[in-house]
Amino acid sequence: MRSLPLLLLLAAAAPAFALASALAENAAPALPGAPALAPEQAQKLAHLVEQDCGSCHGLTRKGGLGSPLTAEALSHIEPEGIAGIILDGVPGTAMPPWRPLMSEDEALWIAYYLLKDEGK
């Protein structure tokens, strides 16, 4: 019966795994429809939205140099359209293209994040 101690060990470890995944979910909000990103990557992007996007659009996204990025303000644009704006910027304005700094999936994730008003 060599497998019994192993089974007991697994049973004891299960709650720890459950806790770890619950914590991961906390760090990375569930965004239905958004590209699935690793929790650390999602956290990095949430931070970027607050720090970098926030420097122009306001820390709470209610607007500054750039227009508000609240879910309400963006509701007329499809997630893919928002991702396109993020990737290519808005020519003739201070909105820079972020394509050199992030993947298309990351831009789309940010679009869903903004549309859900997450992290404010």
Residues contributing to the site for ligand HEC (CB under 6 A) = 48, 52-53, 55-57, 65-67, 69, 73-74, 82, 85-86, 90, 93-96, 98, 110
Q: Of 44, 52, 55, which Cα lies nearest the Cα of 103? A: 44
Query: Which of residues 24 and 56 has its CB atom nearest to ligand HEC in the complex?
Result: 56
Closer to ligand HEC by CB, 21 or 47: give it.
Answer: 47
Q: Which is nearer to ligand HEC, 24 or 84 (CB)?
A: 84
3-state secondary structure 5-20: HHHHHHHHHHHHHHHH
Place of tokens 């508000």: 68
Residue 117: HSE in the Cβ half-sphere, 13 Å Cα cutoff: 9
CB of 43 to ligand HEC, least distance (A): 15
- Closest to ligand HEC by CB, 60 vs 67, is 67
Tokens 């459950």: give the residue.
Answer: 18
Q: How far apart are CB 72 and ligand HEC at their closest, in Å?
A: 11
Q: How far is the CB of 36 from ligand HEC (least distance, A)?
A: 19
| Sign of the four-CA dihedral 110, 115, 116, 118 | positive
